[in-house]
Structure 1
Amino acid sequence: MKSVEPISISGVKREARELYHGHFKTAIKINIIPIITTVLATLATGILVYSIFTNLSATVDVPVDNTDTGLTQIYSILRSILSDAVQLLFLWTASWTLIDWYESPKDTPSLKDSFQLFRRGNVWHTFLLALVQNMLLFLWTLLFFIPGIVKGFSYSQTYFAYKIDIENHTRQPQLTDYITVSRRIMAGRKWELFLLELSFIGWHLLGILTAGLAYIYVVPYLNATRVAYSRHLFTLAMTESVAK
């Protein structure tokens, strides 16, 4: 069994804060789409929960037409997968901008840089990758909730593996190869990444309590921390590969 060198949670958080020091307006700009989608999702969830609880006492039995129930469910699932893929697309392009910023801290990125995916002409290939990843996660989730979460951590580095190919002007033979790279590099690391995500639980609670407004700060901080973690992860993986 190979030894896994730990990555400091406090260390990657500190790197995120240092990256944004004095540039938080820029941090908001390059994360603007993930911020908006997270705030809207928080508000929508809050409204849904409120409506459920307020209508519990007024529940009335109404005849249900099951004729189109199956088709409606299929449509709802497909719409959810497509919607999640689009959101992942915007999260990836924001994360790629953060990768570039980490590599060149003195070169402050612009709003235009955060949409690099659409300017480089590989949007459809990237969308298909995001779609495939979300479809696989959905299928794993069908096996119960926990396997879906575990695979979510396994697939979490797909965006970074793909970014490396973008920079090198190369492409893997199959879209699933990027997911395979992520699975391999996350072997023995899923618990570590889970603890990193768990360390933001207080921030998420603050986001919920403020009806999503706190996510204006939390989303950039969380995304920069994730990218900092990924950089350390791939650096260690490449070091181990050279050592072999």
Structure 2
Amino acid sequence: MFEPVRIAPSLLSADFMNLGRDVALIEEAGAGFVHVDVMDGHFVPNLTMGVPVVKQLKKATSLPLDVHLMIANPLEQLPWFLDAGADYVTVHAEVLDADGLARALASIHAAGAKAVVSLKPRTGVGALAPVIADVDMVLVMSVEPGFSGQSYIEGSEDKVARVVEMARAVGASPLVQVDGGIGPATAARVAAAGADVLVCGNAVFATPNPAAALAEVARIADEARLAALAAEKEAR
């Protein structure tokens, strides 16, 4: 069954001096999420937004806050972001063992939020095996996390397809999100492979008309998804 692809504009590429304006703009333009990149300077070599920004965003928008924790100690900091109002919380498989991932997902769900696990480009999908049945979304990084404006890593769509296949094999259907170098030139590839949510930074906010850019990426992704579903149906 066809479900439109949702766009999650990344505030890392927004105008921090006019953040409220940019959030209102993407909400009016039809964004599905507000993507909030949290970096700690340890897991990734950059520092960005934190709890105070998430608290203010919660007051400023009705869109779900998709909080991506690129941090070394998520089990310690999860309560902070859950209390601040995060609706979806992403932890990285690279910083937690199977038990830690299970504990993180349980904490997120206990707070009434949606749990997401992210994989860096070099991390295999096997890292998801212990928790694939329990996640609400999987985030496939198509660039190395840490900085906006990077180019899409070729072949990332294959990883998206492997995540979809793994989930189907256990009867699960988490959303699949892709983050990194996503725009008009790459949206079709990941959407055709099974991506449900596309994180877009510069492809939206660095354009003269962010609302039009968002709509164009969504259109391209939806067309690719429809074509892929039609091909799958015909192949049966």
TM-score normalised according to structure 1 size: 0.29
Q: Which has the higher contact order (CA 8 A, sep 6+)?
A: 1
Which TM-score applies when normalising by structure 2?
0.30
Q: Which has the higher helix share?
A: 1
- Max radius of gyration: which structure? 1
- Of Structure 1 and Structure 2, the greater strand share is in 2
